[in-house]
Amino acid sequence: MTDTQLSEQDWLERLEALREENLELEQEADVLRQFMDSMVTLIEAIESPTGESEALGLLARVLESAIRAIGARDGSLLIPDEETGELVFVLVQGEATRPNLIGRRLPAGRGIAGWVAENRRGAAVNNVPADERFYAELDVELDYRTSSMLAAPLLGGNRLLGVVEVINKQNGQLFSTGNLTVLTLMCRFAGELLNRAISKAELTQSMKSVGQA
């Protein structure tokens, strides 16, 4: 069939397919722009002091950048308790105020974040309540509804430093694989910065200890 023989319906279907393709390209370009903006924010942190408070400040900026870049409503940072294997909530940001979440613990290996920590790879879940890994107890206790979630490990070298979650994409939209890629790259980059800061602080402390011996 030639173009002149295409029916009006065929033309409409082709135009709709092109429109959807262009929309996807625009969304991907927007994600890339947001990612680059976030990387600039993180690069600026390289020259920051490396004390404990500064490291926490860097992590807060990572979380804020991730929420903004991906278009989520809320986000959390959990760090591992090396003695118990639990994940502890240390930062919470976003539209919903969940102060009672700070200090809460996820049992080792539980929840989507626990799975991410154990497997050291990200997860994108657009129907959280139906996911078998979901740890629903926290939602019940805090009267909060987690609908969709991205989670990625914060890695420095071979060291698991934490897990970053971004929760409930704005306007009820779904998280994409591109969103997960952005979050994973941000966490990897930030993890290396944080690991460098921790290593420097540990070296400084060791030198002080030697000097006092």
CA distance 17 to 22: 9
Answer whether residue 89 is part of any domain: yes
Number of domains forming the structure of the chain:
1
Query: What pLDDT, in 10s, does the model give residues 109-145?
Result: 999 999 999 999 999 999 999 999 999 988 888 888 8
71 neighbors 38 (Cβ within 8 angstroms): no
Answer whether residue 201 is part of any domain: no
CA distance 100 to 89: 10
72 neighbors 169 (Cβ within 8 angstroms): yes
At 32 the pLDDT is 67
CA distance 56 to 33: 26
At 107 the pLDDT is 92
Answer whether residue 55 is part of any domain: yes
Please report, for the domain that includes residue 102, its CATH number.
Answer: 3.30.450.40
At 210 the pLDDT is 46
CA distance 206 to 212: 10
| Rg, Å, the chain Cα set | 21
Q: Rounded to 5 degrees, what are φ and ψ at 168?
A: 60, 90
Query: What pLDDT, in 10s, does the model give residues 60-78?
Result: 878 888 888 888 999 999 9
At 51 the pLDDT is 52
Q: Which domain holds residue 77?
A: 9-193
Residue stretches of the chain with pLDDT short of 70: 1-6, 24-25, 27-28, 30-32, 34-35, 37-55, 95-99, 199-213
Determine the 3-state secondary structure of 124 from DSSP: strand
At 65 the pLDDT is 81
Answer whether residue 205 is part of any domain: no
CA distance 84 to 109: 11
Answer whether residue 21 is part of any domain: yes
Answer whether residue 147 is part of any domain: yes
Answer whether residue 200 is part of any domain: no
Structure tokens at 88: 């502890």
Answer whether residue 176 is part of any domain: yes
At 79 the pLDDT is 93
